[in-house]
Structure 1
């Protein structure tokens, strides 16, 4: 390979340092500079003097590109360099095997010249790697990483030790029959002295007033009262005294005629037991704790019960649960670890805390905590979106928006936001935004727009559109899949109908707010070109290097002045770039043709098949309002639609489709389901509910609804 250079000595960059001025002290100051600054052409005389005295030291670090070229003229110091094969070394005609690049010729006072070609120019973003401030920052980051690893290891050891040292808590159910018409029933607990007990009952209890059978005789609803009773015995074994040592727990039960077809419901409670009063002479040395049941129902009441003699102390459980929840949000907000991994750690730690409190759940119980219906719906919709993205329809819609708006800024933004909102209503909003981002950035490039505010607008409208339907956003999926919600007639159509007015109002309000915020088109455009921003960044790098040197010694002052000369040359180059930069005119027709050629519908046949599957799924979603068609849940509908599309599309590379499923999101929600149930077992959810209820009841009755809505709004803002 022969290299041919066209070099003009007249245009060379001169460095006017006399050899005597470069003392060993100055060279020591030069050696203390960051590597990329030392290798810059403006400090070539220092490097050459160092090599003359100490020998050549090879380095793999590329120097910073010199900006002195722009100070002289457009072509001074820059030459075209041809890389020609050996067979073409005598032939200077251009050929296909010739590569061209730019080169800088640099000479010092001794006439030594070095060619810095374009292959040695690297991104200026790496300039800071040897900067003193960067070095301190890297050390701090290193210590923080070790601190993070240490904390996570401690957490891992804690819940591992708890899980290894505790067996699974198994509920022992016992059958009991409560006599009718107020007769008492005693169930022995223990002769030991307990401070609290937990009780679980399964029987025909009423969930809410809507489940109550209308009584034509206007009888009062039957009740079941449960409490803990202590019986004292004397030396001869006879009953000496009895007393109620806990609060009374009241439960609503169904009427006798509805008992046979009422589903069993589980109710749990905890009783705080009063200590023995030793000052009472009637209290002997022997005592027995019993559960006392008393029912007002006019028939025997069968049920199952389970007694926990060492239940979780709710006050302690709330504290532990709050610590776990705060730790989760700290890890997610500050991105200490991946959010999925953070949820796994938090959920495992919460299960470990339950184990430490002698309430370790079984694996069957933990799997029952996961809302499979929600995960099934998300999985089915992810499969649909993964196959639909292969058609290129998302890119096509963005280009179509550019076409129908004739390239005008605000009409284009409105179309992009509207398309995003509509797609996010029926598809996963995160995936929709990710798929539309590349072509949106390309549109911003051709229109000289800053893509950040436009993408933020699309994200906002994606969230608004996702709130419209039960399948648009994971929280909506969780709400719509709840048994209580679905049993009370909130289907797909009812949910969408109630959300539609609010979504429209929010979209209008958001549009007005965005128009006001970006009322000047210049706010949507780049303030400066990327070349100018890079040049400003390089100036800051050299300024920091110069500021790190003091002026107390002659050697440091010499190096500092050299660096400041480089800064002044860069500033001069920056002024010229700012003065000569002109925004290129946008050719709408040519740009549209290029975009349409680059982003067409890649597979029209597959698009038709995807449309058929989406029509099937969305139709079944809306047909859930028909009672005869409510046998299929939303999750089953999405899964059937995904299977239908896979059959139509004849997918052979199934691994590629499954690779595009957001498994981390599914695992994240599965871990969150486990975490929330574990926190509920610890008593945090009940505590938050009671605090919220008391706060709402503390305001006037006419303002309670508004306060409740505001609490849900702002709590969701920080917790989701």
Structure 2
């Protein structure tokens, strides 16, 4: 029992340090790892076992890939083109980037999507002399909403689909519909929050409208190679599971190819990787692993199940909100992995567990929008923003992300009630 308490205390202290920003989040996470090792809750081998190297591989691979292709002028080209098509209206750009991010995240890894979209947003914002933070926040929210739409958009959905025997079409009919409604609501909410803040500098817009986007292309050959590779990456991410290839292999292969054919300074490319972000994920996986190792996550899942008294609709609502709130601060993968066998066991006892699958899918995936550490895309894009001179603090993110998470989960709740309690 004392190990469980220590694991909880370490987790709480780490999260507290991240929230208060008294300590850099990477230092806080790594300090948590050290404490888990010193107290004997984990040894080195078990700690490493809790690191999701597939996620780490995707992060490193895509960061290296972006670090090479950015030298082509591709991001500047797209940014100028987007500004001219929108006639310099930041709000239209924001909506377009939100929709594109959501669609891409439905079929690609969320991290891959924001790593490609983020640099374009920052480049465009610098050109138009506007604050990119509102657009970046919109992209983070859209990436998690989009990832919830399909069976391949977010790891928990892949796990749920496999365990429950659900199809791609089943997800589109359930999580897809709920998320499209949620995305529309989120866009209107973002307009209410930021419409007055998105005012481009008139002189800057005029200058952009007069630019020739083709002149932004620094290396035409590298740009052509980058476009071809992006298309191949999208295809590979959509079909990799059918060939038994992990997503990290796709990202690292793309990075390796571009590093070979891109002919860029490799040391400069490697230095462009967000290593503090990589180390933060490394540490956070292990800190959450301490909670799994001591059985805290399993106890949480069992307690949530017991609260419903066995009523399917009540359990559906409890699972939806509990999954959302917990996924805002915990890695949703071990939590969902713990819930799956418990739900299957209830199904064997005769309960209709179909609503429960959709409840944990919508809750666990949408819950990632709640805080800055709720999902990988959040941490990555906030890291990119900070590196480019636009820091987004934990509290600044939470003021927007948490209400948006509540809004979309509330919409999901209404959808589930209409779908399973009324119809």
| SS of residue matched to 2:49 | helix
Task: State the distance in 2 between where 1:466 and 1:503 align.
Answer: 9
The partner residue of 1:381 within 55, 62, 68 is 62
Question: 1:715: Cα distance to partner?
Answer: 1.9
Retained in 2: the 8 A contact 1:340–1:664? yes
The partner residue of 1:603 within 213, 219, 234 is 219
Question: 1:607: Cα distance to partner?
Answer: 2.0
Cα deviations across residues 120-179 of structure 1 (Å, max 9, x unaligned)?
xxxxxxxxxxxxxxxxxxxxxxxxxxxxxxxxxxxxxxxxxxxxxxxxxxxxxxxxxxxx
1:331 aligns with 2:7: no
Task: State the distance in 1 between where 2:170 and 2:217 align.
Answer: 35
CA, structure 1 residues 595+497, in 2 after alignment: closer, same or farther (shift >3 Å)? farther
1:648 aligns with 2:264: no
CA, structure 1 residues 396+498, in 2 after alignment: closer, same or farther (shift >3 Å)? farther
Question: 1:658: Cα distance to partner?
Answer: 1.4
Cα deviations across residues 244-301 of structure 1 (Å, max 9, x unaligned)?
xxxxxxxxxxxxxxxxxxxxxxxxxxxxxxxxxxxxxxxxxxxxxxxxxxxxxxxxxx
1:439 aligns with 2:123: yes
Retained in 2: the 8 A contact 1:469–1:496? yes
Task: State the distance in 1 between where 2:170 and 2:222 align.
Answer: 32
Q: How does 1:233-382 map to 2 (within 5 A)?
A: 314=1, 316-354=2-40, 361=43, 363-382=44-63
Task: State the distance in 1 between where 2:165 and 2:310 align.
Answer: 31
Task: State the distance in 2 between where 1:492 and 1:624 align.
Answer: 15
Q: How does 1:611-626 map to 2 (within 5 A)?
A: 611-624=227-240, 626=242
Task: State the distance in 1 between where 2:262 and 2:295 align.
Answer: 49
The partner residue of 1:592 within 190, 209, 214 is 209
Gapped regions of structure 1 (runs ≥ 5):
1-313, 527-583
Question: 1:347: Cα distance to partner?
Answer: 1.7
| SS of residue matched to 1:354 | coil
CA, structure 1 residues 370+497, in 2 after alignment: closer, same or farther (shift >3 Å)? farther
Retained in 2: the 8 A contact 1:493–1:625? no
1:716 aligns with 2:392: no
The partner residue of 1:658 within 251, 270, 286 is 270
Question: 1:481: Cα distance to partner?
Answer: 8.2
Task: State the distance in 1 between where 2:63 and 2:270 align.
Answer: 9
Retained in 2: the 8 A contact 1:481–1:634? no
Q: How does 1:523-542 map to 2 (within 5 A)?
A: 524-525=198-199
Task: State the distance in 2 between where 1:675 and 1:491 align.
Answer: 33
Task: State the distance in 1 between where 2:292 and 2:68 align.
Answer: 38
Cα deviations across residues 88-138 of structure 1 (Å, max 9, x unaligned)?
xxxxxxxxxxxxxxxxxxxxxxxxxxxxxxxxxxxxxxxxxxxxxxxxxxx
User: With structure 2 as the length reference, what TM-score do the two structures score?
Assistant: 0.65
Retained in 1: the 8 A contact 2:17–2:25? yes
Retained in 2: the 8 A contact 1:613–1:641? yes
Cα deviations across residues 425-483 of structure 1 (Å, max 9, x unaligned)?
555355446413433333543xxx665544443443344345557887xxx35x4786x
Task: State the distance in 2 between where 1:640 and 1:493 align.
Answer: 30
CA, structure 1 residues 522+609, in 2 after alignment: closer, same or farther (shift >3 Å)? closer
1:688 aligns with 2:300: yes
Bigger strand fraction: 1
Question: 1:418: Cα distance to partner?
Answer: 3.3
Question: 1:708: Cα distance to partner?
Answer: 0.6
User: With structure 1 as the length reference, what TM-score do the two structures score?
Assistant: 0.40
Bigger helix fraction: 2
Task: State the distance in 1 between where 2:93 and 2:312 align.
Answer: 47
Question: 1:595: Cα distance to partner?
Answer: 7.4
Question: 1:375: Cα distance to partner?
Answer: 1.9
1:464 aligns with 2:152: no
Retained in 2: the 8 A contact 1:405–1:412? yes
Cα deviations across residues 661-717 of structure 1 (Å, max 9, x unaligned)?
22222222222222223222333222222222222x337322321221111112223
Question: 1:332: Cα distance to partner?
Answer: 0.5
User: In the alignment, what sits opposite 1:513?
Assistant: 189
Task: State the distance in 2 between where 1:323 and 1:648 align.
Answer: 49
User: In the alignment, what sits opposite 2:410?
Assistant: none
CA, structure 1 residues 450+336, in 2 after alignment: closer, same or farther (shift >3 Å)? closer
Task: State the distance in 2 between where 1:409 and 1:376 align.
Answer: 34
CA, structure 1 residues 700+522, in 2 after alignment: closer, same or farther (shift >3 Å)? same
Retained in 1: the 8 A contact 2:233–2:251? yes
Task: State the distance in 1 between where 2:316 and 2:87 align.
Answer: 47
User: In the alignment, what sits opposite 2:93?
Assistant: 412
Retained in 2: the 8 A contact 1:350–1:679? no
Retained in 2: the 8 A contact 1:346–1:675? yes
Question: 1:334: Cα distance to partner?
Answer: 0.7
Cα deviations across residues 171-197 of structure 1 (Å, max 9, x unaligned)?
xxxxxxxxxxxxxxxxxxxxxxxxxxx
Retained in 2: the 8 A contact 1:398–1:439? yes
CA, structure 1 residues 636+620, in 2 after alignment: closer, same or farther (shift >3 Å)? same
Question: 1:336: Cα distance to partner?
Answer: 1.6
Gapped regions of structure 2 (runs ≥ 5):
331-373, 375-423
User: In the alignment, what sits opposite 1:394?
Assistant: 75
Question: 1:380: Cα distance to partner?
Answer: 2.0
User: In the alignment, what sits opposite 2:287?
Assistant: 675
CA, structure 1 residues 641+707, in 2 after alignment: closer, same or farther (shift >3 Å)? same
Retained in 2: the 8 A contact 1:392–1:600? yes
Cα deviations across residues 393-449 of structure 1 (Å, max 9, x unaligned)?
22322221221122335323323433444566555355446413433333543xxx6
Question: 1:509: Cα distance to partner?
Answer: 1.4
